[in-house]
Chains A and B, each alone.
Chain A
Amino acid sequence: MTIEVRNIVKRFGAFAALDHVDLKVETGELVALLGPSGSGKTTLLRIIAGLEWPDEGDIRFDGEDALKQGAGERHVGFVFQHYALFRHMTVFENVAFGLRVQPRAVRKSEAAIRARVHDLLDLVQLRWLAERYPSQLSGGQRQRIALARALAIEPRILLLDEPFGALDAKVRKELRQWLRTLHDEIHVTSLFVTHDQEEALEVANRVVVMDKGRIEQIGTPAEVYDNPRTAFVHAFIGESIVLPVEVRDGRVRLGASDLDLAADGAVSGPSQLFVRRHDMDVGPVGSGALEGAVRRVRTFGPVQRADVALTSAGGETLIEIDTPRDRRLAPGDIVGLHPRRYRIFAAEA
């Protein structure tokens, strides 16, 4: 099932939660809506589910107008951020709910319902918890039950709101892996909301980066990481060093000094130079576009991280760089720095 979002606008009073959003999700994709809180990602998810209605625009499932249907008619599985399990029902009854409320004409027999629920509990590997109540489950278990409940209605689309948001780091990692595997198994078109870039990059086929009710970039995890289209995407995804520069006649200037970097066709004017922490090469003084004094060094794993005070920046600009451990640095060293890869974006007015 494809999802087409066309020109969606949603206002809460004067605040535009979604500002003319267009998006197309192909059948069987697993797409992440990534953005900071308030970027409109959850609102978009709720509009697709039918829990919220847009002020303008169009939602189409396989070309069919979804806005004509209520939430219950869209056959959308929705997993809520805090799971929203029915607290007075057992795990079994929670999963069975969607099957039991079907119109009599299409409702399955009790035996068929039981079989289906048991299949789903097997799928999420929690059959042994069938008679428990939600309050007796751990966060990760609740999450998986919520997913089983959403899958019970054989949804055409699966929507997940911050599916791992309320879990601790270790469980989150496990569930991420598990969701990825599950999606490969059942292949239902899925869309999930997250503010965690690592989660989005690791789980999704495609990532939709949102900010302030607009889509900043849509692409594969590699695309949005390696070729961020806007300053926001560069800053939001991955760790970045940001330097305020001035582009003039194809030259890049930092303070008073010319950095001797290609401006890459950037427009003249105040700009920002973005460099990934690990894309900054360290060499002897004079070897690079920048120069600085090492202030502090710490090592963990394969990485050596150093705070470097840029002297070429005029004032005291402190940046953090990652270098391999074999390039020994010590506090007090004066080094040359050269951005191996970088991007220049016009500074925001």
Chain B
Amino acid sequence: MAEAESARAVRAREARNDALTEPRLVRLGIIALAVAFLTVFIVLPLVLVFAQAFGEGVAAYIAALADPEAQSAVVLTLTVAAISVGLNLVFGLVMAWAIAKFEFAGRTLLISLIDLPFSVSPVIAGLVFVLLFGAQSALGAWLIARDIPILFALPGIVLATTFVTFSFVARELIPLMLQQGTQEEEAAISLGASGWRAFVRVTLPNIKWGLIYGILLCNARAMGEFGAVSVVSGHIRGETNTMPLLVEILYNEYQIMAAFAVASLLALLAVVTLVVKAVLERRLAEGRRQRDH
């Protein structure tokens, strides 16, 4: 009697669980689909990149990366990334500061403009700079006359990359700074701190993790940018080819192994970014929990 009752209770509980979750078969099916999708679209390509890169042995891989063209591409990519991330760090901070801490006319417009580089195709971003600095424009002609190269040189590549990666830092900081408000800064000021000290001692530590997160995303995109850079670079071998551009050139020249060797560096960067991002997200979530206390 008691057993029968408990059996009924178990059934009832199962029925309740069934009401909340899908049948087992559907559940397994959905999980399998997700895993299969991830495998085919993400894990497999990543494995393939490394398999191809090392297809002719470690020695060939090292030789491919030691090639002067490859070296120059790595140096150029790192240089461009360093400059654009630096610029966007400053722009992003200033933008976020202005939007989060002040009320002014055109604030909403500014917020929507920040997203423009995200919504515009990178190719168009590149073309804009060609139009602006090309020989046919007044500004371009003036610069060329004074021997200041913009297009087909480092400045052009930096400009295009900076444009494309403009939003990352600001987008990360604005919601964070809006949520934090201005009271801590006011407290610092009323305690006698200068504006700069309040920024360094109070604002910066509060937005630290968000800032690092934004820089990371910005950097990943800056190193991987292809479209905009392709338009302005001019593809001068050993001079204006970044890593993504070099991968394409090598691939088109049927140097498959070398192409994948360079690509593997970019892939490695992506993996590192992913790991650091996961760690940062945990720190950010902790920070948020602490604030909610």
The CA of A98 and the CA of B183, in the complex, are separated in Å by 15
Inter-chain contacts of A87 with B (CB < 8 A): 184, 206, 290-291
Contact: B191 with A149, CB < 8 Å? yes
Contact: B184 with A84, CB < 8 Å? yes
Contact: B193 with A101, CB < 8 Å? yes
**Among A82, A136, A153, contact of B191 (Cβ-Cβ < 8 Å):** A153
Given A101-B197, A135-B290, A135-B291, A86-B192 contact (CB < 8 Å): no
The CA of A97 and the CA of B184, in the complex, are separated in Å by 12
Interface size on B, residues (CB 8 A): 20
Q: A104 contacts the other chain (Cβ, under 8 Å)?
A: no
A100 closest partner in B (C-beta):
B201
Majority-rule SS of B interface residues: helix
The CA of A102 and the CA of B188, in the complex, are separated in Å by 11
The CA of A97 and the CA of B192, in the complex, are separated in Å by 9
Inter-chain contacts of A85 with B (CB < 8 A): 184, 187
The CA of A51 and the CA of B205, in the complex, are separated in Å by 22
**Among A49, A86, A133, A135, contact of B190 (Cβ-Cβ < 8 Å):** A49
Inter-chain contacts of A70 with B (CB < 8 A): 189
Q: B194 contacts the other chain (Cβ, under 8 Å)?
A: yes
Q: A192 contacts the other chain (Cβ, under 8 Å)?
A: no
The CA of A88 and the CA of B184, in the complex, are separated in Å by 11
Q: A274 contacts the other chain (Cβ, under 8 Å)?
A: no
Given A87-B206, A135-B290, A136-B293, A80-B191 contact (CB < 8 Å): no
Within 8 A of B (CB), among A129-183: 133, 135-136, 149-150, 152-153
Q: A71 contacts the other chain (Cβ, under 8 Å)?
A: yes
B192 closest partner in A (C-beta):
A72
The CA of A150 and the CA of B189, in the complex, are separated in Å by 12
Contact: A97 with B191, CB < 8 Å? yes
**Among A98, A133, A135, contact of B192 (Cβ-Cβ < 8 Å):** A98
Contact with B along A42-77 (1 / 0, CB 8 A): 000000011100000000000000000011111111
Inter-chain contacts of A149 with B (CB < 8 A): 187, 191
Inter-chain contacts of B187 with A (CB < 8 A): 78, 80, 84-86, 149
Q: B35 contacts the other chain (Cβ, under 8 Å)?
A: no
Q: How many Å from the CB of B204 to the closest CB on chain A?
A: 10
Counting contact residues on chain A (CB < 8 A from B), the size range is 20 to 34
The CA of A150 and the CA of B192, in the complex, are separated in Å by 11
**Among B190, B197, B202, contact of A76 (Cβ-Cβ < 8 Å):** B190
B186 closest partner in A (C-beta):
A51
Inter-chain contacts of A51 with B (CB < 8 A): 186, 189-190
Q: How many Å from the CB of A163 to the closest CB on chain B?
A: 14
Contact: A86 with B197, CB < 8 Å? no
Q: How many Å from the CB of A77 to the closest CB on chain B?
A: 8
Contact: A97 with B190, CB < 8 Å? no
Inter-chain contacts of A101 with B (CB < 8 A): 188, 191-194, 197, 201
Within 8 A of A (CB), among B236-293: 290-291, 293
The CA of A97 and the CA of B191, in the complex, are separated in Å by 7
Q: How many Å from the CB of B200 to the closest CB on chain A?
A: 10
The CA of A97 and the CA of B291, in the complex, are separated in Å by 20
Inter-chain contacts of A84 with B (CB < 8 A): 183-184, 186-187
Inter-chain contacts of A98 with B (CB < 8 A): 191-192
Contact: B194 with A72, CB < 8 Å? yes
Contact with A along B153-189 (1 / 0, CB 8 A): 0000000000000000000000000000001101111
Contact with B along A295-319 (1 / 0, CB 8 A): 0000000000000000000000000
The CA of A98 and the CA of B290, in the complex, are separated in Å by 24
Inter-chain contacts of B208 with A (CB < 8 A): 88
Contact with B along A87-121 (1 / 0, CB 8 A): 11000000001100110000000000000000000
Among B187, B197, B205, B206, chain A packs the most CB atoms within 10 A around the CB of B187
Q: How many Å from the CB of B211 to the closest CB on chain A?
A: 13
Inter-chain contacts of A150 with B (CB < 8 A): 191
Q: How many Å from the CB of B184 to the closest CB on chain A?
A: 5
Q: How many Å from the CB of A198 to the closest CB on chain B?
A: 26
Among B192, B205, B290, B293, chain A packs the most CB atoms within 10 A around the CB of B192
Given A78-B187, A88-B206, A97-B201, A102-B291 contact (CB < 8 Å): no
Inter-chain contacts of B205 with A (CB < 8 A): 88
Among B183, B191, B192, chain A packs the most CB atoms within 10 A around the CB of B191
The CA of A102 and the CA of B191, in the complex, are separated in Å by 9
The CA of A149 and the CA of B191, in the complex, are separated in Å by 8
The CA of A49 and the CA of B189, in the complex, are separated in Å by 10
Contact: B189 with A71, CB < 8 Å? yes
Q: How many Å from the CB of B202 to the closest CB on chain A?
A: 6
Inter-chain contacts of B206 with A (CB < 8 A): 87-88
Inter-chain contacts of B190 with A (CB < 8 A): 49-51, 71-72, 74, 76-78
Inter-chain contacts of A152 with B (CB < 8 A): 191
Contact: B197 with A82, CB < 8 Å? no
B208 closest partner in A (C-beta):
A88
A94 closest partner in B (C-beta):
B187
Inter-chain contacts of A102 with B (CB < 8 A): 192
A74 closest partner in B (C-beta):
B190
Given A51-B190, A78-B190, A101-B191, A135-B293 contact (CB < 8 Å): yes
Given A86-B202, A97-B201, A101-B201, A72-B191 contact (CB < 8 Å): yes
5 A–B contacts, CB within 8 A, in A order: A51-B186, A78-B186, A84-B186, A101-B192, A153-B192
Minimum-distance CB pairs A-B, first 8: A98-B191, A84-B183, A101-B193, A135-B290, A135-B293, A84-B187, A88-B205, A72-B192
For the complex with contacts A78-B187, A88-B206, 9 further pairs of A-B residues with Cβ separation under 8 Å are A51-B190, A71-B186, A72-B191, A75-B192, A80-B187, A82-B183, A84-B186, A85-B184, A86-B188
**A interface residues with partner B (beta carbon < 8 Å):** 49-51, 70-78, 80, 82, 84-88, 97-98, 101-102, 133, 135-136, 149-150, 152-153
**B interface residues with partner A (beta carbon < 8 Å):** 183-184, 186-194, 197, 201-202, 205-206, 208, 290-291, 293
